[in-house]
């Protein structure tokens, strides 16, 4: 298979991507596929700028390393040295923020709980930081586990700017863009349509692709725009090992129990075909991409996409797999390992009330599918997927001809048992109706009934996915939020002792107390939902 053949699914008149393989600092292959803007017909080129999303984070880590070398700060500093306003009971160090081991909550769920639908329209960095600084609770002790949270890097941005006395945009230009030769890269938190040579992200709609350009502030968490040419320059620079970053930022950062993490200091650590790769993925509002560097082999790959319906993360690994001529890794590149997926025989919803978590899982002998992602069985009998921040492993008994009685899921050093969701008659909804509040949040969560007696959830007028939410019973007093098609969304709710424990993927166990008073009346004009 040729490199270009990996991108045969991108039509010439559709949005697509720019991709390259770099060997010893020089590109040995690059390709541009599809359109930067479907409205103008502009094709993607090496100089086309993309929003690189969370690929911003390793560049911010390099800025912090430069400031540490200049004596402006230390990665061992407690964050409150630079951000004394932070109210967290056990504040983390700068290094723990870099490593996603801070225990501080992710900001996006907090924004929804406070602002509802307006969270989609635009949130400035000042508002994001104000909400983050007001939080006193932690979701785990710093250093004890790894949970990806963009809020970590927004706090690091504030610390870096205060330590250096300069805005992050200037620091990135001085310590990353200029030395790396990234001529078109910028930190850009405004809508990108006005930038020269800028692609637009595109969402899939029933009528085709539609351009989207939301006004959101990403800052250090994902605010850089860059071209393929910029990313090739970035990879070339990284391969020179500036500031000894491979040892100082790319090394394993174990948890306090000694277990390894898949996330280093701003870089993801993964093994592809037995070869260490350091890199980072990124995805924001239909922008998606990945860069990977195998420092011991001098090889790197990068993909920048302006659509997210294609799994660019796997494709970047497929590029390196073909480049090295190695056997495909089923945990990293299942499409190469077995190009024809087997027929799935069953689909079931599994849940853990203890962890506030549920998954729709499909399966057949030898393979499961979670969220549209294939996870084949490994030689040790486990189902493993190494993409993401922490490796994910499923332990399942039986040959999967039928839904199993239980599934054990392990992500990093967190292990949980998932059981089939309940069926039958749910409990009386009256016992959970009402308003629920958190002391560090100005808004409230509302649980009410619609005209057909179904439980509804809202924290603002509309869920950011685009519609009202209903509550789907999973067992006892444990519920998942679901959209109008019945598909489970991020928040899960466990009701106990006059409170609700709300868990999001990156914010588990947020406790809201029930507010005494009458249950809220649901708006008469709320759109009808489809029962599952």
**What is the structure's pLDDT at 528?**
32
Local structure of residue 174 (DSSP, 8 states): I
Pairwise CA distance, residues 389 & 145, whole Å: 12
Pairwise CA distance, residues 84 & 158, whole Å: 11
Q: Judge contact between 407 and 394, C-beta under 8 A.
A: yes
CB atoms inside a 10 Å sphere around CB 192: 20
Q: Judge contact between 186 and 167, C-beta under 8 A.
A: no
Q: Judge contact between 129 and 158, C-beta under 8 A.
A: yes
Write down the pTM of the prediction: 0.91
Task: Please measure the distance between the N-terminal and C-terminal CA atoms of the chain and give it in whole angstroms.
Answer: 42
For β-strands 499-504 and 488-496, DSSP reports them as antiparallel
**SS3 assignment, position 420:** strand
**224: CB partners within 8 A, 6+ apart:** 51, 52, 55, 56, 59, 172, 185, 186, 187, 188
Alpha helical stretches, state H, 325-453 = 334-337
Q: Judge contact between 151 and 79, C-beta under 8 A.
A: no
The residue ranges of every structural domain in the chain are: 4-71+166-326, 346-420, 429-515
CB atoms inside a 10 Å sphere around CB 403: 18
CB atoms inside a 10 Å sphere around CB 224: 31
Pairwise CA distance, residues 393 & 370, whole Å: 12
Q: Order the strands of the 367-370 sheet from edge to edge.
A: 373-376, 367-370, 357-364, 346-352, 414-420, 407-411, 392-395, 383-385
What pLDDT tens digit does each residue of the chain (532 aa) get? 899 999 999 999 999 999 999 999 999 999 999 999 999 999 999 999 999 999 999 999 999 999 999 999 999 999 999 999 998 889 999 999 999 999 998 887 777 777 654 555 455 677 778 878 888 888 899 999 999 999 999 999 999 999 999 999 999 999 999 999 999 999 998 777 778 999 999 999 888 999 988 766 789 999 999 999 999 999 999 999 999 999 999 999 999 999 999 999 999 999 998 999 999 999 988 999 999 999 999 999 999 999 999 999 999 999 999 999 999 988 899 889 888 889 999 999 999 999 999 999 999 999 999 988 899 999 899 999 887 899 899 999 999 999 999 999 999 999 999 999 998 888 888 888 888 888 887 777 888 887 777 888 877 544 444 456 888 899 999 999 887 777 777 889 999 988 999 998 888 888 999 987 655 554 444 333 222 1
Pairwise CA distance, residues 463 & 444, whole Å: 14
CA distance readout (Å), 221 to 73, 82, 148: 20, 18, 11
For the record, the structure tokens of 484 come out as 């109008």
Q: What are phi and psi of 201, to 5 degrees?
A: -75, 150
**What is the structure's pLDDT at 467?**
54
Q: Judge contact between 191 and 198, C-beta under 8 A.
A: no
Q: What is the 3-state secondary structure (H, E, C) of 434-488?
A: EEEECCCCCCEEEEEECCCCCEEEECCCCCCCCCCEEEEEEECCEEEEECCCCCE
Burial of 162 (0-12, 13-18, 19+ CB in 10 A): middle
CA distance readout (Å), 398 to 359, 366, 382, 402: 19, 10, 11, 9
Fold of 4-71+166-326: Beta-lactamase (3.40.710)
Q: Judge contact between 335 and 354, C-beta under 8 A.
A: no
For the record, the structure tokens of 340 come out as 């024809």
**What is the structure's pLDDT at 154?**
93
Domain covering 429-515 in this structure, CATH number: 2.40.128
Local structure of residue 316 (DSSP, 8 states): H
Q: Any idea which residue has 């796997």 for tokens?
A: 314
């Amino acid at each position: 298979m040729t490199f270009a053949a990996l991108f045969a699914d991108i039509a010439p008149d559709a949005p697509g991507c720019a991709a390259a393989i770099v060997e010893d600092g020089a590109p040995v292959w690059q390709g541009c596929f599809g359109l930067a803007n479907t409205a103008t017909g502009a094709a993607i080129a090496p100089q086309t700028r993309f929003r690189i999303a969370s690929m911003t984070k390793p560049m911010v880590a390099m800025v912090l390393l430069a400031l540490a070398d200049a004596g402006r700060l230390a990665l061992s500093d407690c964050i409150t040295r630079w951000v004394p306003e932070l109210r967290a009971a056990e504040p983390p160090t700068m290094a723990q923020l870099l490593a996603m081991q801070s225990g501080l909550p992710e900001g996006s769920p907090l924004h929804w709980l406070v602002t509802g639908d307006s969270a989609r329209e635009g949130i400035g960095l000042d508002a994001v930081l104000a909400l983050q600084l007001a939080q006193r609770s932690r979701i785990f002790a710093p250093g004890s586990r790894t949970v990806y949270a963009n809020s970590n890097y927004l706090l690091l941005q504030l610390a870096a700017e205060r330590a250096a006395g300069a805005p992050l945009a200037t620091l990135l230009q001085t310590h990353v863009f200029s030395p790396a030769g990234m001529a078109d890269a910028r930190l850009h938190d405004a809508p990108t349509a006005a930038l020269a040579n800028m692609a637009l992200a595109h969402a899939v709609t029933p009528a085709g692709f539609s351009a989207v350009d939301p006004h959101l502030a990403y800052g250090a968490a994902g605010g850089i725009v860059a071209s393929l040419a910029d990313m090739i320059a970035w990879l070339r620079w990284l391969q020179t090992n500036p500031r000894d970053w491979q040892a100082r930022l790319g090394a394993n950062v174990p948890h306090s129990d000694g277990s390894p993490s898949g996330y280093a200091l701003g870089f993801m650590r993964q093994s592809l075909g037995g070869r260490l790769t350091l890199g980072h993925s990124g995805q924001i509002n239909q922008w998606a991409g990945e860069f990977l560097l195998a420092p011991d082999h001098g090889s790197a790959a990068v993909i920048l996409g302006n659509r997210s319906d294609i799994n660019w993360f796997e494709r970047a690994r497929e590029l390196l797999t073909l480049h090295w001529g190695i056997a495909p890794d089923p945990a990293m590149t299942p499409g190469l390992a077995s190009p024809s997926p087997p027929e799935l025989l069953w689909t079931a919803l599994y849940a853990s009330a203890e962890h506030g978590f549920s998954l729709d899982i499909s399966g057949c002998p030898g393979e499961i599918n979670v969220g549209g992602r294939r996870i084949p069985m490994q030689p040790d009998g486990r189902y493993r997927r190494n993409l993401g921040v922490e490796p994910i492993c499923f332990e399942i008994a039986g040959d999967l001809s039928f839904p199993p009685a239980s599934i054990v899921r392990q992500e990093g050093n967190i292990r949980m048992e998932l059981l089939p969701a309940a069926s039958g008659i749910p409990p009386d909804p009256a016992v959970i109706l009402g308003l629920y509040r958190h002391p560090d949040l100005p808004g409230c969560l509302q649980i009410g009934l619609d005209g057909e007696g179904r439980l509804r959830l809202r924290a603002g007028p509309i869920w950011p996915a685009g519609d009202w939410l209903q509550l789907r019973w999973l067992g006892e007093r444990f519920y998942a939020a679901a959209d109008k098609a019945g598909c489970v969304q991020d928040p899960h709710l466990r009701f106990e002792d006059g409170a609700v424990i709300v868990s999001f993927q990156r914010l588990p166990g947020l406790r809201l107390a029930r507010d005494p008073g009458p249950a809220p009346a649901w708006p008469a004009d709320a759109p009808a939902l489809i029962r599952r």
